């Protein structure tokens, strides 16, 4: 019997709110395979800065894989089967992505999660993501699974009203968050990324969010 005062074995669970749980380092052992798959996605559908309906260029660079991809332009936010930059379907969801998302969702109590969309976000030093809700998916009863890779970020989330008080949660390389139930429509954002270095990703952070959009 070991007395483990200073070590916790990955992954460990941190409840954030009803319906939301961080699975710390859940993706750590799969990081190289995930990043190789990200590279293949980005070769087929490069990162780009979308424009909001209000005409602002988003700081976060984005791309997608899977049957549906999230897009924004002057006409609004929506999911689309095609990359507007190339006119082609989004690259397919890599098998490693699907497996990780389903495993994490099951760990959080959402068995049978089968995402049809993966939004890939890239943050560079100073990049922030302002407070928003994710409500463009058809069924808000389905959870969202998020995977953080690279430089750590400070994530913030509140309640279902923009003015609800915010909690801050650091998200590091390999951390996975599952948002379902009453947490699914909570407001959330990311504070400006610090200028730091990660051994696999340099000064950048990549976040994958898995959704059942259609
Ligand atoms: C809480 N991405 O892509 S991941 C997004 O780090 C997005 O890139 C952030 O917000 C990022 O929409 C945060 C954590 C996250 C993702 C989806 C959520 C938290 C969520 C949906 C509902 C509630
Ligand atoms: Fe979001």
Q: Cα of 189 to ligand 2 centre, how many Å?
A: 7
Residue from 77, 134, 169 to probe ligand 1 pocket by mutation (most atoms less than 8 Å from CB): 134
**What residue's CA is closest to ligand 1, atom 4?**
146
The verdict on the CB of residue 207 being under 6 Å from ligand 1 is yes
pLDDT at 183: 97
pLDDT at 24: 98
- Predicted confidence band of residue 8 (pLDDT cuts 50, 70, 90): confident
Residue 37 lies in a domain: yes
Sorted by sequence, the CB contacts under 8 Å of residue 25 that are 6+ apart come out as 10, 11, 12, 172, 174, 175
pLDDT at 72: 98
pLDDT at 16: 96
**What residue's CA is closest to ligand 1, atom 16?**
146
Residue 1 lies in a domain: no
What is the arithmetic mean of pLDDT over 73-92? Answer: 98
Examine the pLDDT at 84 and tell me if it is beyond 80: yes
Residue from 115, 208, 209 to probe ligand 1 pocket by mutation (most atoms less than 8 Å from CB): 209
- Predicted confidence band of residue 198 (pLDDT cuts 50, 70, 90): very high
Q: Cα of 3 to ligand 2 centre, how many Å?
A: 39
Question: How many percent of the chain have pLDDT more than 70?
Answer: 100
Mean pLDDT of the chain: 97
Residue 2 lies in a domain: no
pLDDT tens per residue, range 62-76: 999 999 999 999 999
Residue 145 lies in a domain: yes
pLDDT at 23: 98
What is the arithmetic mean of pLDDT over 140-149? Answer: 98
Please provide the DSSP assignment of 54-92 as one string.
TSPBPSSEEEEESSBEEEEETTEEEEESB-TTTSSBPPP
What is the arithmetic mean of pLDDT over 159-170? Answer: 98
Cβ atoms of residues 198 and 204 within 8 Å: yes
Residue 5 lies in a domain: no
Full residue range of the structural domain in which residue 181 is found: 12-211
**What residue's CA is closest to ligand 1, atom 5?**
209
Give the CATH number for residue 36.
Answer: 2.60.120.590
Q: How many domains does the chain have?
A: 1
Residue 20 lies in a domain: yes
Residue 6 lies in a domain: no
**What residue's CA is closest to ligand 1, atom 11?**
207
- Predicted confidence band of residue 153 (pLDDT cuts 50, 70, 90): very high
The verdict on the CB of residue 179 being under 6 Å from ligand 1 is yes
- Predicted confidence band of residue 4 (pLDDT cuts 50, 70, 90): confident
Residue from 188, 189, 205 to probe ligand 1 pocket by mutation (most atoms less than 8 Å from CB): 188
Residue 7 lies in a domain: no
Q: Go through 123-154 and write b for each residue having 16 or more CB atoms within 10 A of its CB, e for each that does not.
A: beeebebeeeebebbeeeebbbbbbbbbbbbe
């Amino acid at each position: 019997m070991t007395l483990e005062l200073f070590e916790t074995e990955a992954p460990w669970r941190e409840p954030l709110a009803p319906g939301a749980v961080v699975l710390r380092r859940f993706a750590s052992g799969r990081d190289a395979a995930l990043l190789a798959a990200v590279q293949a996605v980005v070769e087929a559908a490069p990162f780009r800065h979308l424009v909001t309906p209000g005409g602002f260029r988003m700081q976060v660079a984005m791309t997608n894989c899977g049957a549906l991809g999230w897009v924004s332009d002057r006409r609004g936010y929506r999911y689309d089967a095609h990359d507007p930059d190339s006119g082609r379907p989004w690259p397919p969801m890599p098998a490693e992505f699907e497996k990780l998302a389903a495993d994490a969702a099951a760990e959080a109590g959402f068995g049978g999660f089968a995402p049809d969309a993966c939004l890939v976000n890239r943050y560079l030093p100073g990049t922030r993501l302002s407070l928003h809700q994710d409500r463009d998916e058809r069924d808000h009863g389905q959870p969202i699974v998020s995977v953080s890779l690279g430089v750590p970020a400070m994530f913030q989330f509140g309640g279902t009203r923009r003015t609800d008080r915010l909690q801050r949660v650091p998200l590091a390389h390999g951390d996975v968050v599952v948002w379902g139930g009453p947490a699914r429509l909570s407001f959330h954002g990311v504070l400006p990324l610090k200028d730091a270095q990660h051994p696999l990703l340099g000064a950048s952070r990549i976040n994958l969010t898995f959704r059942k959009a259609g």
